[in-house]
Amino acid sequence: MQILTYNVNGIRAAMRNGLIEWLTDKPYDILCFQEVKATPDQVNLSEFEALGYHLVGWNAAQKKGYSGVAIFSKLPTDRCVIGCGIDLYDYEGRVIRADFGKITVVNAYFPSGTSGDERQGVKMKFLDDFYDWIHALKLTEQQLIIVGDYNIAHQEIDIHDPVRNKNTTGFLPEERDWMSKWFASGFTDAFRHANPDLVEYSWWSYRAGARGNNKGWRIDYLSISDALQDQVVTCRQLLAAIHSDHCPVWLQLTAN
């Protein structure tokens, strides 16, 4: 199984920037997109279908041009659940779940908190609620993969300037503490498991040539149930893919 997670920062813009052409010769079985900023009727889905993907599910935000997550797959899907049952997050199109045999994939777009204290409060509430929701799900689904834009850089190795950003949302102590709690609760950071000391980022500001100078943050993750650790073949940021201010992250697992 090969899974790609990608904050596309507007799926229509990413497609205009060559997303479909880039995917043409790639082996990914499942595509998880965040921040699609559209509804499915606004997107030419036939371009994905031509590559062998079917639309598993799409959770669009009620606010036009905002947030939203979607899953495409070449694999048969047993179940798709739109949302997490919490109105605020479902209104913003933050979560979608799909089951592939024994594997359950949750695609999530965490709030950013960058627009002020109110949204930072929403972000912290989301972290607590999402943690509880996932752990309730984990009682029945043992093999979970939680992908998406977490909007948090966990450790100093995951951000280009940890000192200057120590009080910046996305690298706040309380956010990093949540990530540590998350990864101590039965989940593994697939990238860091496969690459303990590798410095790679998944997001760069559009300002001041940040991407060209590689002044980035690693905020896009594939969290896997600890039981899946031995199945990780590789997990990397695909740095050459430039359709967004993020790059995709790729996970390959061996067969169960």
Catalytic site residues?
A: 149
Q: Phi-psi category of 93—alpha, beta or left, where left has phi over 0 and alpha has psi -120 to 50?
A: left
Distances (CA, A) of 84 to 77, 130, 161: 18, 8, 34
Of the candidates 45, 49, 41, the one whose C-alpha atom is nearest the C-alpha of residue 15 is 45
Length, in residues, of the chain: 256
How far apart are alpha carbons 224 and 109 in whole angstroms? 16
How far apart are alpha carbons 143 and 156 in whole angstroms? 29
